[in-house]
Amino acid sequence: LAELHHGGRLREAAACYAIPLEQWLDLSTGINPLGWPVPSLPAECWQRLPEADDGLEQAAAAYYGAAQLQAVAGSQAAIQTLPRLRPPCRVGILAPSYAEHAAAWRCHGHEVVALGTNDIETQLPALDVLLLVNPNNPTGECFTGEQLLAWHEALAARGGWLLVDEAFIDATPGLSLAAYSGRAGLIVLRSLGKFFGLAGARVGFVLAWPALLEQLAARLGPWAVSGPSREVARLALSDRAWQAQTRQCLLRESARLHSLLQEYHLPPVDGTALFQYCPTPEAERLHDALARQGILTRLFQQPSALRFGLPGSEAEWQRLAQALESLITTPKQRAVEW
């Protein structure tokens, strides 16, 4: 399976643009730059095998408001495993969206139907699985709970699944379907990589009905998540004060990013608390021009667009503003080139 392109490949950018790694401002992912502060861990986290009753699942159940869940080594592990749990079928996936989903379903012999938002309703009767990222990455598009539950009901009535990837939902938990995830045919994916900023820990959760979780657990085998990662995730999921403060902070920061990009004639069409999405025919040129100044953004080709993650400090905000300013030299050029 060919490796897909992702944000966060800073070493590759450093080599490509001959700029040392430590001089980069990486805005190419949707990872919170001010992630949960990881403490040093007790030695037994490293030395003992992880045990199921260490409190992680209880902390996750309380945080997500869902009793039935399975910890996975990042939601990526679930993305790759879930297509093995159905015989070949028709899977509708929004396009553009997070590309690992379509690749994983195709890899296991399923037929993937690329959907625009307006196609979902008409295509639904011909689908076995509807897969949506909510809010969507990279576009930031959101679906309402009411709409999703209606689609779930139609699919579940004939043994189908609604699979909702909520990797970017933590700052807006009211949008989540977690509370409904015990229903047969409804699968919700969550990640600790984005809002909590713990992408390197590789922890996510699958929220679903018990029979599916049993099948998934059997596929994943024992010790699916490492001891240190389980402990860090347990602590982060239990830290209500940090979560409340971070939700507010990210919503404020993402509004600031939206305004900044608008000011420099790159109006985002949409975004989430963790990134802004800017379709522009100039995406490739702008991506290159910013990279020459050591600022890495995420470039999309189809459709042509840039995604900007959040700067983490005031100095980084200033650096981004100056770089955007330097790309437009005269008022005339502003109008023509941007």
Task: Enumerate binding residues for ligand PLP (CB under 6 A).
Answer: 74-76, 98, 133, 137, 165, 167, 191, 193, 199, 204
User: Minimum CB separation from ligand PLP for residue 50, in Å?
Assistant: 18
Least distance CB 166 / ligand PLP (angstroms): 9
Q: What residue number has its CB nearest to ligand PLP?
A: 74
CB 272 within 8 A of CB 254: yes
Length of the chain: 338
| Least distance in angstroms from the C-beta of 37 to ligand PLP | 19
Q: Nearer Cβ to ligand PLP, position 72 or 324?
A: 72
Judged by CB, which is closer to ligand PLP: 71, or 260?
71
In whole angstroms, how close is the CB of 4 to ligand PLP at the nearest point? 10
Contact criterion met (CB below 8 Å) for 94 and 133:
yes
Structure tokens that stand for 234 in this block: 């347990």
Q: Smallest Cα–Cα separation from 177: which of 168, 159, 189?
A: 189
Question: Which H, E and C letters describe the chain, residue by residue?
Answer: CCCCCCCCCHHHHHHHHCCCHHHCEECCCCCCCCCCCCCCCCHHHHHCCCCCCCCHHHHHHHHHCCCCEEEECCHHHHHHHHHHHCCCCEEEEECCCCHHHHHHHHHCCCEEEEECHHHHHHHHHHCCEEEEECCCCCCCCCCCHHHHHHHHHHHHCCCCEEEEECCCCCCCHHHCCHHHCCCCCEEEEEECCCCCCCHHHCCEEEECCHHHHHHHHHHHCCCCCCHHHHHHHHHHHHCHHHHHHHHHHHHHHHHHHHHHHHHCCCCCCEECCCEEEEECCCHHHHHHHHHHCCEECEEECCCCEEEEECCCCHHHHHHHHHHHHHHCCCHHHHHHHC
Least distance from ligand PLP to the Cβ atom of residue 294, Å: 22
Closest CB to ligand PLP among residues 140, 294: 140
4 or 15, CB closer to ligand PLP?
A: 4
Taking the least distance from each CB to ligand PLP, the nearer of 24 and 168 is: 168
Among residues 81 and 243, whose Cβ is nearest to ligand PLP?
Answer: 81
State the minimum distance, in angstroms, from the CB of residue 265 to ligand PLP.
27
Quote the least distance from Cβ 150 to ligand PLP, whole Å.
Answer: 22
Nearer to ligand PLP, 193 or 294 (CB): 193
Please, which residue, 99 or 249, has the CB nearer to ligand PLP?
99
User: Minimum distance between the CB of residue 32 and ligand PLP, rounded to whole angstroms?
Assistant: 12
**Least separation in angstroms between CB 73 and ligand PLP:** 8
> What angle, rounded to 10 degrees, do the helices at 314-327 and 240-263 form?
20
For ligand PLP, the closer CB: 199 or 216: 199
Hey, how many other C-beta atoms are within 10 angstroms of the C-beta on 41?
14
